[in-house]
Structure 1
Amino acid sequence: MSASGSMDMYHKDFFDLDSLKEGFDVELKTALGRDKKGAVPESFWETYSAMANTSGGIIILGAQEKDESVVYHNLPKYGQMIQDIWNNLNNPKKVSVNILQNRNIKPKTYEGKNIIVVTVPQASRKQRPVYIGTNPLEGTYQRQNEGDYRCQPELVKQMLGEQANDTRDAVILENFTIDDIDKESYRIYRQQFSNLKPNHPFNECDEKEFLRQIGGWKRNRQNGKEGLTLAGLLMFGKFRSILDAVPNYIVDYQERENTDTRWVDRITLDGSWSGCLYDFYRTVMKKLSADLKVPFKLNGDERIEDTPVHEALREALVNTIIHADYSGNCSLLVVKRPDLFGFRNPGLMRIPKPEAIRGGISDCRNRNLQKMFQFIGLGEQAGSGFPKIYQNWQMQHWREPMLEERHGSNQTVFILKMTSLLPEEVLGALKSEFGESFRDLVNVERLAMVTAYSEGCVNHSRLKELSREHPHDITISLHNLVKQGLLASEGSGRNTFYYIPGRHPMGDEIFGGEICPKYSSEHLDNSSEHLDNSSEHLDNSSEHLDNSSEHLDNSSEHLATLRDIAEPVKSVKKASKALMESTIMELCSGRHLTIEELSSLLNRNKDTLRTHYIIPLLHKGKLEQKYKNVTTHPNQKYRAVDEKERE
């Protein structure tokens, strides 16, 4: 990389590694080979697969991190290395698909040394999973915490399903009939349709034909079979019928008075209502819009109750419903608080986040559901939903919405905060706490501190969303604030986050980080019960237990108990999966343990533990993280969730 525009190949405004690492997922590889002249390491392909299946990233060959700095190595054979990369990219026995173009692989010169920079884009839905070799179940990787991890078979199958199906809700359900429809919900929908479109020919149709016209009933023209579609059942079905077809189906609305996760009002599947999506939308939308403190408009003398905020909430709720993956293991969850609205749906986005926010491209997971809502005037046309929400929120001078994909738990989160970009009360609090030090800050630094105070923490990408500053200037500003003691930081690279000293961001995560229990969204709550300090027997050190017992409390009896629990696994080279999982659960019962401590107790490699046991147990809801909203926390710990908590 030359000093004049080292990273101009991705974004002209990136010209230093610090900015690059905080703005992108960056992987450095020595790549010297046996002769020290350069060779593509086998791990390159794992990273290629992982980045393509996650959010993309940058691989730099000829570089390594050493003592918190980067050391570059000369690669005399860089030309041959680039050719080797191209040869393998186009070899179907090596990798499933080539998603790179010429501009994605470039040789660079930095400090007189030849290196190679490879930009890996995020793969499209039709390209995923990107895998090594010929077996997707064994060769698919994903990025987690700046590491490459083999995907669990369930996640690979989800990717394959997304790849093959343009719409997930058009399937005909065998042995389901019109009797599985909740007649009252269906009647109200037809009435709403008729009120909106009184002269529409669909109004003349009988029950089954109307349902067919809107996508709820279907006839297979090849074999003559016909029946209720998944969309028809989800939209209008009876409670028990929906669960018979979709066992993991959960919709949940929670109203909370403050950052405490205990709800004061809730709608979920308790058997007291139909449970269908149309009724869920109607009921939840009324509750979301109740008591909205936004000014109404006048059209002449007539008061217009429908404001841009109402429109944004309608769009966000419909968007959550029609994009959800109802085969997933976590609930569709909507949260209302006095300061925000939160929406979470199972399933990742089908198009990259920047394209969704920019608009113009649509790839809806449930297109029949989308059409059903559009028939009654709900939901924007293709690709205009997110731009409308962002625009309407901006009109109120509120903070930019937060859109996040959580790859580890296969869910999408969207948060709309009703707070000003620079709230007077926050400015006053910061001025009071930091005095002249805060008053002397430049605009982007003040914005960073206000965001950290208002949202709990701030990172490079969030500040880039909120300001128009140069990414390099954002990096410098954040680092300066840390040097001045005005912000504290944790994590590294793209996972670095900043917060007000003394206000660590662990207590206000409405969706509980990336944990996705199977049966109850309540367990996503960041309840103080789950962070009970009385069960913490470990300090923040990450050294191994064998080297020191100071990580545990001062009781040697306690340490001996843990070692006794771990002995059946530690004493053998190979333990069954069932024994491994039960031992981990017992070790983490009533206490939080780090991956390092588990590794030492069990005498197992950390990466093996994380990939094959910790992550699957998290997905099943059997383990929970201590720092739920900071999944990359350097002192992350795990605690077992007992059966009663999972019910």
Structure 2
Amino acid sequence: MEELFDLKNFDLYKEDNRREVKKAKNGLPLSLWETYSAMANTYGGVIILGIKEQANRNWKTTGLKVSDREKLLDDFWNQMHNLQKVNVNLLDENDVKTYVVNEDLIILIYVPMAKREQKPVYINNDLFNGIFKRTHTGDYHCTKEQVKEMLRDQVEETMDMAMVEEMDLSVLNLETIHSYRNRHRVFRMGHPWENLDDENYLLKIGAVKKGKDRQFHPTVAGLLMFGEEYAIVDYYPEYFLDYREMLDPMIRWTDRLQSTSGEWTGNLFDFYFRVYNKIIRNVKMPFQMIGGNRIDDTPVHRALREVLANCLVNADFYIPRGIVIKQDMNCLTIENPGTIRVGKKQMKRGGKSDPRNKGLMKMFNLIGIGERAGSGVPELLSVWENEGWEEPLIEEENLPSRTILTLSFEKKMPKKSAEMPKKSAEKTKKKYEKILTLMEPKEWYKASELIKDLDIKERRTRELLNELVEKGMLEEKGVTKGKRYRKK
């Protein structure tokens, strides 16, 4: 909680995606509960009652009386324990604090991020209209698709473990199955399942199950891993895999691999190895020498295998736009549909694995991919740090939900000397001024529209634009890559 609010820093805070202030002059505001739902369903945060945000975005107390403290707290806890108001109470008494600022009362309510099995957190006993999420400084109603996504993620038995009774094993590609078995045989020589026939082998790895008709039917995981694309799309209409290689700026893309092409199976197993082989061919990999011999399997190779597998096993294939992987000369972007189930903070910390598709995870584990549960992203960050590359960027989008991992293969800028901060601040100030000069009043701009004039990369442009939003000089709409900005 201290990372979100420290009384000593009161004058420095602004509203953002994890801090929200409310006047509360006439009692608890109705919007309090919308913000509670939004923060619980997103990353958590802190709601502060008794404060208003002024035009310059500075905070000012609203004159709540210290004598009203008990009445306001009683009202808050009564409603928090009322299932007709809130379906899940995530708080205990330690999550609510009171302070006196300029002789006025403020009430601090820390809202933790709800666990996957607790979501969606909704209000007013309304499952579809009482669910909110938070973006920047606002709370918004979740769409029905977002609600369904949270409901799918509640259960322990993941969606890919279900049996597809209306399909038989003819929808699975035999060549893919044998390719998988060969990899398993090499990785686990002498494994007890090695001599089983195909049907019983698939049963053991969770790719098929026996139905009431005593016949084998594919599981969803088996269909995704080994199926033909037409059968997968019959089950998941939004299923789509796309690899785009853009190594020549004069050509739209130098190579492209799509599940819809009809030139290959379009399943996850074949996509994984086709894409991985393209990535390692095009990325300038460091190599190691041991005993005079070159070692081709470096920490970078291992990290790329892990993040590629994580993309596939954490995808929500009900969500539109599918899996998209883009590669250019110095950057690799991996996008999958669905949010991060454990949250971005826990994902970076590692140690907790909660894949969206446990059946797929098991199958990848059996051939030596993704074995170290929950360690993929921390290992990735460590490898990139050791190589001196820019830190990987992890982003989440909404509408539709997406997780985007951007891997740069460019060296980080060297650390600046003690004399540099002033020059850096002056340079940033000039960039601010140029942005404001370039923008016409009432016109909305994308970050990409300003890159050429600013002569900096899009990532840095977005950082500057967001800083100007925080300073109250710009306003924004939209999310991540669709975000636009204009002068206030």
Query: Partner of 2:160: helix, strand, or coil?
Result: coil
Equivalent residue number for residue 21 of structure 1: 14
Specify which of 34, 42, 45 is matched with residue 54 of structure 1: 42
Equivalent residue number for residue 162 of structure 2: 171
Alpha carbons 1:486, 1:501 under 8 Å: kept: no
Alpha carbons 2:37, 2:132 under 8 Å: kept: yes
- Say whether residues 1:32 and 2:25 are aligned partners: yes
Equivalent residue number for residue 63 of structure 1: 51
- For residues 504 and 41 of structure 1, do their structure 2 counterparts lie closer, same or farther at Cα, with a shift above 3 Å needed? farther
Give, in angstroms, the shift of residue 67 of structure 1.
Answer: 2.6
Query: Partner of 1:363: helix, strand, or coil?
Result: coil
Equivalent residue number for residue 411 of structure 2: 420
Query: Partner of 1:345: helix, strand, or coil?
Result: strand
Equivalent residue number for residue 464 of structure 2: none
Equivalent residue number for residue 42 of structure 1: 30
Query: Partner of 2:118: helix, strand, or coil?
Result: coil
- For residues 541 and 342 of structure 1, do their structure 2 counterparts lie closer, same or farther at Cα, with a shift above 3 Å needed? closer
Give, in angstroms, the shift of residue 111 of structure 1.
Answer: 1.5
**Amino acid in the other structure paired with 2:430:** G
- For residues 86 and 260 of structure 1, do their structure 2 counterparts lie closer, same or farther at Cα, with a shift above 3 Å needed? farther
- For residues 334 and 119 of structure 1, do their structure 2 counterparts lie closer, same or farther at Cα, with a shift above 3 Å needed? same
Give, in angstroms, the shift of residue 262 of structure 1.
Answer: 3.0
Alpha carbons 1:170, 1:230 under 8 Å: kept: yes
Where structure 2 has 5 or more consecutive residues not aligned to the other structure, the ranges are 437-446, 461-472
- Say whether residues 1:359 and 2:350 are aligned partners: yes
- In structure 2, distance between residues paired with 1:541 and 1:389: 35
- In structure 2, distance between residues paired with 1:417 and 1:261: 21
Give, in angstroms, the shift of residue 13 of structure 1.
Answer: 7.1
Alpha carbons 2:15, 2:21 under 8 Å: kept: no
- For residues 102 and 62 of structure 1, do their structure 2 counterparts lie closer, same or farther at Cα, with a shift above 3 Å needed? same
- For residues 197 and 67 of structure 1, do their structure 2 counterparts lie closer, same or farther at Cα, with a shift above 3 Å needed? closer
In the superposition, the TM-score normalised over structure 1's length comes to 0.66
- Say whether residues 1:485 and 2:475 are aligned partners: no
Give, in angstroms, the shift of residue 380 of structure 1.
Answer: 3.3
- Say whether residues 1:247 and 2:237 are aligned partners: yes
- For residues 506 and 95 of structure 1, do their structure 2 counterparts lie closer, same or farther at Cα, with a shift above 3 Å needed? farther
Q: After the TM superposition, which residues 222-233 of structure 1 pair with which residues of structure 2 at under 5 Å, given as runs?
A: 227-233=217-223
- Say whether residues 1:209 and 2:200 are aligned partners: yes
- For residues 481 and 208 of structure 1, do their structure 2 counterparts lie closer, same or farther at Cα, with a shift above 3 Å needed? farther
- Tell me how many residue pairs correspond in the alignment: 459
**Amino acid in the other structure paired with 2:483:** T
Equivalent residue number for residue 420 of structure 2: 441
- Say whether residues 1:120 and 2:111 are aligned partners: yes
Query: Partner of 1:21: helix, strand, or coil?
Result: coil
- For residues 231 and 41 of structure 1, do their structure 2 counterparts lie closer, same or farther at Cα, with a shift above 3 Å needed? same
Specify which of 362, 374, 387 is matched with residue 371 of structure 1: 362
- For residues 277 and 258 of structure 1, do their structure 2 counterparts lie closer, same or farther at Cα, with a shift above 3 Å needed? same
- In structure 1, distance between residues paired with 2:173 and 2:366: 19
- For residues 322 and 541 of structure 1, do their structure 2 counterparts lie closer, same or farther at Cα, with a shift above 3 Å needed? closer
- Say whether residues 1:313 and 2:304 are aligned partners: yes
Equivalent residue number for residue 458 of structure 1: none
- Percent of residue pairs bearing the same amino acid type: 34
Equivalent residue number for residue 473 of structure 1: none
Residue deviations 1:317-364 (CA, integer Å, cap 9, x gap): 111011000111121011111111111100001012111111111111
In the superposition, the TM-score normalised over structure 2's length comes to 0.86
Equivalent residue number for residue 78 of structure 2: 87
- In structure 2, distance between residues paired with 1:22 and 1:312: 36
- In structure 2, distance between residues paired with 1:232 and 1:60: 49
- For residues 61 and 275 of structure 1, do their structure 2 counterparts lie closer, same or farther at Cα, with a shift above 3 Å needed? same
RMSD between superposed Cα atoms in Å: 3.2
Give, in angstroms, the shift of residue 197 of structure 1.
Answer: 1.6
- In structure 2, distance between residues paired with 1:18 and 1:486: 26
Query: Partner of 1:629: helix, strand, or coil?
Result: helix
- For residues 260 and 88 of structure 1, do their structure 2 counterparts lie closer, same or farther at Cα, with a shift above 3 Å needed? farther
- In structure 2, distance between residues paired with 1:388 and 1:66: 43
- For residues 245 and 376 of structure 1, do their structure 2 counterparts lie closer, same or farther at Cα, with a shift above 3 Å needed? same
**Amino acid in the other structure paired with 1:485:** K
Query: Partner of 1:328: helix, strand, or coil?
Result: coil
Alpha carbons 1:506, 1:630 under 8 Å: kept: no
Alpha carbons 1:331, 1:346 under 8 Å: kept: yes
Residue deviations 1:92-130 (CA, integer Å, cap 9, x gap): 111010112222211111112111111212111111111
Alpha carbons 1:24, 1:58 under 8 Å: kept: no
Specify which of 503, 511, 517 is matched with residue 454 of structure 2: 503
Give, in angstroms, the shift of residue 500 of structure 1.
Answer: 9.1
Q: After the TM superposition, which residues 253-272 of structure 1 pair with which residues of structure 2 at under 5 Å, given as runs?
A: 253-257=243-247, 262-268=252-258, 269-272=260-263
- 19-28 or 336-345, which deviates more: 19-28
Alpha carbons 1:360, 1:382 under 8 Å: kept: yes
Give, in angstroms, the shift of residue 164 of structure 1.
Answer: 2.7
Give, in angstroms, the shift of residue 288 of structure 1.
Answer: 0.3
Give, in angstroms, the shift of residue 23 of structure 1.
Answer: 7.1
Give, in angstroms, the shift of residue 230 of structure 1.
Answer: 0.4
Equivalent residue number for residue 629 of structure 1: 481
Give, in angstroms, the shift of residue 26 of structure 1.
Answer: 1.7
